[in-house]
């Protein structure tokens, strides 16, 4: 009799475990760059179990820039994306998505690198030069434009070419195919460490109110799994809180994800943690800057009504 009871208890336990497994919501999450520290929180959240404890099965895929990421969302290949603020313009063009959280503010992530031996000594020497960016209409292109505007040259004075991932942009600089490139801070610091080039400009101080990174969700997943989307956002911000108070573990995972050493990951952590939001709320002033950037990039002919491009209803209460 006892054996039968134990067998029944075992079967019941197995059944409950299966039910829990079935209860997990699958969320396919895309990153607009494989090696960028900006998107490492999702990897940390997975490894630390912050999504799993919310019954989420998070699958991560990486893309080379916003454009390809948005194509994947339009094709229903992913449900959520970690991308750039300027990517909100895709919604105006008909992308079946909505911004659901603003997770990073000032563009501390980016730096403009140039090779040693170049005649370019400071930003004033960039007029007519060719700079590599992730893609046309990207935040990296907009940052280059800001240099031209501040120098009084006007938009388009600095030529930009969309190249894709940081590695591709760096390779183009090394081959002298372009004069410089905007890359993430990890790539920039590695480049300087190699002795091959230097950082010409940083963008954190140049841009005030801004949403450099935004989280998007497809209209389909918002309609079908709104609670799962909110749970993911909750897990994301629990991860950010963990990262702020657990530097050692954060840089251990970040170094692995980014393919770099712990020393560099630690330096990146110190530079970039201040840019992360703690709640995902959208800043009206930052949205105004983004609206203007769409016109400056010629992504859109006029500034859109930004209130139609995002929602805060899915943010944790």
pLDDT digits (tens, 9 = 90+) for 128-182: 999 999 887 777 888 998 899 889 998 889 999 999 888 899 999 999 999 999 9
Please give the residue that has the higher pLDDT: either 109 or 115: 115
Contact 280, 101 (CB under 8 A): yes
CA dist 98 and 92 (Å) reads: 10
71, 73, 76, 79: CA torsion to nearest 10: 160
Domain with CATH 3.40.190.10 in the chain: 23-106+210-285+302-308, 110-202
Is beta strand 56-62 parallel, antiparallel or unpaired with respect to 97-104? unpaired
Going by the DSSP 8-state scheme, the letter that residue 222 receives in this structure is H
Report how far apart, in Å, the C-alpha atoms of 267 and of each of 81, 161, 240 are.
26, 29, 17
Homologous superfamily, domain 23-106+210-285+302-308:
Periplasmic binding protein-like II (3.40.190.10)
CA dist 156 and 144 (Å) reads: 9
pLDDT interval class at 18 (50, 70, 90): very low
What mean pLDDT is predicted for residues 93-117? 95
Measured in whole angstroms, the distance separating CA 75 from the mean position of its chain's CA atoms is 20
CA dist 171 and 181 (Å) reads: 10
pLDDT interval class at 64 (50, 70, 90): confident
Q: Does 194 score more than 90 pLDDT?
A: yes
155-187 core/surface letters (b: 16 or more CB in 10 A; e: else):
eebbebbbbbbbebbbebbeeeebbbbbbbbbb
Is beta strand 110-115 parallel, antiparallel or unpaired with respect to 180-184? antiparallel
What is the C-alpha R_g of the chain?
A: 21
Report how far apart, in Å, the C-alpha atoms of 12 and of each of 2, 5, 55 are.
15, 10, 20
Please give the residue that has the higher pLDDT: either 158 or 4: 158
Burial-class residue 280 by CB neighbours within 10 Å (0-12, 13-18, 19+): buried
Q: Does 206 score more than 90 pLDDT?
A: no
CA dist 110 and 163 (Å) reads: 15
Question: Looking up tokens 């040259």, which residue turns up?
Answer: 153
Residue 79 DSSP SS3? coil
What mean pLDDT is predicted for residues 94-120? 95
Beta bridge partners of 25: 56
Among 156, 107, 162, 99, smallest CA distance to 129 is for 156
As a CATH number, domain 110-202 is: 3.40.190.10
pLDDT interval class at 281 (50, 70, 90): very high
Predicted TM-score of the model (pTM)? 0.80
Mean pLDDT of the chain: 90
Q: For the chain, give the percent of residues with pLDDT over 70.
A: 92
Q: Does 84 score more than 50 pLDDT?
A: yes
Where are the alpha helices (H) located in 33-129, listed in sequence order?
Answer: 40-48, 66-74, 89-92
CA dist 62 and 40 (Å) reads: 11
108, 36, 40, 137: CA torsion to nearest 10: 80
Q: Does 187 score more than 50 pLDDT?
A: yes
What mean pLDDT is predicted for residues 179-207? 90
Return the percent helix, strand and coil in the chain, to nearest 5: 50, 20, 30
């Amino acid at each position: 009799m006892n054996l039968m009871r134990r067998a029944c208890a075992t079967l019941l336990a197995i059944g409950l475990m299966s039910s829990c497994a079935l209860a997990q919501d699958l969320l396919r999450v895309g990153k607009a760059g494989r090696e960028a520290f900006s998107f490492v929180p999702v990897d940390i959240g997975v490894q630390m179990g912050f999504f799993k404890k919310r019954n989420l099965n998070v699958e991560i895929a990486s893309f080379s820039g916003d454009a390809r990421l948005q194509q994947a969302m339009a094709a229903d290949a992913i449900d959520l994306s970690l991308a750039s603020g300027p990517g909100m313009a895709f919604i105006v063009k008909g992308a079946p998505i909505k911004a659901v959280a603003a997770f990073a503010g000032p563009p501390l992530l980016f730096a403009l690198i140039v090779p040693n031996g170049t005649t370019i000594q400071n930003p004033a020497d960039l007029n007519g030069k060719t700079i590599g960016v992730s893609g046309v209409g990207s935040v990296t292109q907009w940052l280059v434009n800001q240099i031209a505007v501040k120098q009084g040259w006007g938009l388009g004075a600095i030529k930009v070419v969309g190249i894709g991932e940081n590695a591709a942009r760096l390779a183009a600089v090394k081959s002298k195919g372009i004069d410089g490139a905007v890359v993430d801070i990890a790539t920039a610091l590695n480049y300087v460490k190699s002795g091959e080039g230097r950082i010409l400009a940083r963008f954190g101080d140049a841009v005030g109110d801004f949403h450099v990174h935004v989280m998007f969700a497809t209209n389909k997943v918002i309609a079908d799994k709104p609670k799962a989307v909110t749970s993911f956002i909750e897990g994301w911000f629990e991860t950010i809180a963990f990262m702020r108070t657990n530097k050692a573990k954060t840089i251990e995972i970040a170094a692995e994800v980014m393919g770099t050493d712990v020393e560099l990951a630690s330096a990146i952590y110190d530079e970039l943690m201040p840019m992360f939001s703690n709640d995902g709320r959208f800043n009206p002033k930052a949205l105004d800057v983004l609206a203007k950037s769409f016109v400056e990039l010629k992504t859109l002919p006029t500034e859109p009504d930004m209130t139609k491009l995002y929602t805060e209803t899915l943010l944790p209460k």
